[in-house]
Amino acid sequence: MNDLQLQLPGLVSDGGVEWVWQSEDDGADDVSGFEHATVMRHEVVEALTPRSGGMYVDVTLGGGGHTEAILEACDGARVIAFDRDPNALAAAKARLERFGDRVLFVRSAFSRLVEELLSLDVKKVDGLCADLGVSSPQIDEAERGMSFRMKGPIDMRMDPDNGETALEWIARSDEEEIADVLYRYGEERRSRRIARSIRRAYDQNELETTLDLRRAVVRAVGPARIGGVDPATRTFQALRIMVNGELDELDALLAALPKVLREGASAAVISFHSLEDRQVKRAFAVRDVWSPHTKKPRMATDEEATLNPRARSAKLRAASILGVDA
C-alpha cells in the first residue's frame, strides 16, 4: 500500500457495495443543512494561539468550525473567512451570527488571498489556517457530482457557479490527457486503461452521470477493491483536483503566506492526501522563512478518529514565519 492509500480520507460504505471519497467533515452539527464535525479543532487553536486584537484568516471556512474555535478561544480575536462555495458561506454565516462583526466573510478562492486582503485594507494578519479537501455536504449532495455512491451530473466543482465541469473537460480531452490527469492527481497506475474506457464511454454517449463514470472505470480495471478502496476512488479524486485546480491553489496559498503573515505568526494546514501534504512539507522546510512547530505532522487523536473516522487521514503541519519581508 503506497503513501496515497495510507492517507485516504475516511471511507464510508453504502450497504457494503459502494465506497465514496470523503474528507474532513462528518455529520455532527447541522447548520442550515451543512453538516460538520471540525477536524483537529483544538490543535489548530493551539497552533495559532489567538490573542486579543489579533486578526486571523480561515481560508477554508466550510462549516465554520475552525473559525468558531478561534473566536471562542479569544474574545478579542477577529477572523476573515474565505470560501468559494456559496452554500458553505450561507451556512457558516448562520452558525457564526453570534460573533457579529468579529468575522468577515469573503467568497473567493484562497489563491486570491493577497488581493482580497488588500481590498479590505489588511496588509498583515496574526495567523492563518487551512483545512484542505472536500466537505461532507459537497460530497453528499448528488448534484455536485463528487460521489460515485449517488447518481448525479459529472460536475465536481467546489464553486457551482464558475468554471468547467469534469464532464465538459472530458468532452474536449483525448485519452492521453485524461490518463495524465489520472496518474498525476490520483496516482492511478492503471490510468491509460481507465482513460481509454472513459473516452470510449463518452464517444458512445454512455457517460452522463457519476454512476456512468464509475462503470467506465470498473469496465477497465474490474470491481475488485484494493485495501478496501473502490476502484473508482482515484479517478474521482484526480478529476476533482483537476477541475478545482486544488494543487495550484495550494501552491499559490503557500507562496502568499510570507507576504501576509506578521513576523512570528503561524500558519496551520490540514491535508488529507499525500499530494497536498508533500506540498506543505516542502514549503515549511525552507528554514530561512519558516520555523516548523513539530518535526512530523500532528495526527488526530485516537479518540477523535473513533468519533469521526474521516479524521483518520488528517495531517496537521504548522509553522511560524520568521522575520522575512517577502
pLDDT of res. 37: 74
- Label residue 75 exposed, middle or buried (CB < 10 Å: 0-12, 13-18, 19+): exposed
Structure-model confidence comparison of residues 304 and 134, the more confident one: 304
Query: Is the pLDDT assigned to residue 31 strictly greater than 50?
Result: no
pLDDT of res. 27: 32
Q: Does domain 29-136+246-321 have CATH number 3.40.50.150?
A: yes
Mean pLDDT of 87-111: 95
pLDDT of res. 215: 97
State the first-to-last Cα distance of the chain, in angstroms, to the nearest integer.
40
CA 324 – CA 177 distance, rounded (Å): 40
Determine which of 24-33, 59-68, 104-113, 181-190 has the lowest per-residue pLDDT on average: 24-33
Cβ contacts of residue 155 below 8 Å, gap of 6+?
Answer: 143, 144, 145, 146, 165, 166, 167
Query: Is the pLDDT assigned to residue 74 strictly greater than 90?
Result: yes
C-alpha cell at 140: 453528499
Q: According to CATH, where is 3.40.50.150 located in the chain?
A: 29-136+246-321
Q: Is 163 helix (H, G, I), strand (E, B) or coil?
A: coil
pLDDT of res. 309: 81
Query: What pLDDT, in 10s, does the model give residues 287-302?
Result: 999 999 999 999 999 9
The residue type of 24 is E
pLDDT of res. 20: 27
**Residues counted in the chain:** 326
Residue reference for cell 516542502: 282
Mean pLDDT of 156-179: 95
C-alpha cell at 50: 489567538
Mean pLDDT of 84-102: 94
Q: β-strands 298-299, 315-321: how paired?
A: antiparallel
Average pLDDT, the chain: 87
Q: How confident is the model at residue 148 (pLDDT cuts 50, 70, 90)?
A: confident
- Label residue 19 exposed, middle or buried (CB < 10 Å: 0-12, 13-18, 19+): buried
Mean pLDDT of 81-108: 95
pLDDT of res. 224: 82
Asked if 233 and 313 count as a contact pair (C-beta separation under 8 A), the reply is no
Q: Is 302 helix (H, G, I), strand (E, B) or coil?
A: helix
Helix count (H) and strand count (E) of the chain? 14, 12
pLDDT of res. 127: 98
Q: β-strands 125-131, 261-271: how paired?
A: parallel
CA 222 – CA 193 distance, rounded (Å): 11
pLDDT of res. 136: 66
Query: Is the pLDDT assigned to residue 9 strictly greater than 50?
Result: no
Query: Is the pLDDT assigned to residue 222 strictly greater than 80?
Result: yes
Q: According to CATH, where is 1.10.150.170 located in the chain?
A: 147-244
Within the chain, residue ranges assigned H as helices are: 3-6, 41-48, 65-73, 86-95, 113-119, 136-140, 166-172, 175-186, 191-203, 210-221, 233-244, 246-260, 274-284, 302-307
Mean pLDDT of 11-30: 30
Query: What pLDDT, in 10s, does the model give residues 111-121?
Result: 999 999 999 99
pLDDT of res. 106: 97
Asked if 72 and 97 count as a contact pair (C-beta separation under 8 A), the reply is no
Tell which CATH classification among 1.10.3720.10, 1.10.10.10, 3.40.50.1820, 1.10.150.170 matches the domain 147-244: 1.10.150.170
Asked if 48 and 109 count as a contact pair (C-beta separation under 8 A), the reply is no
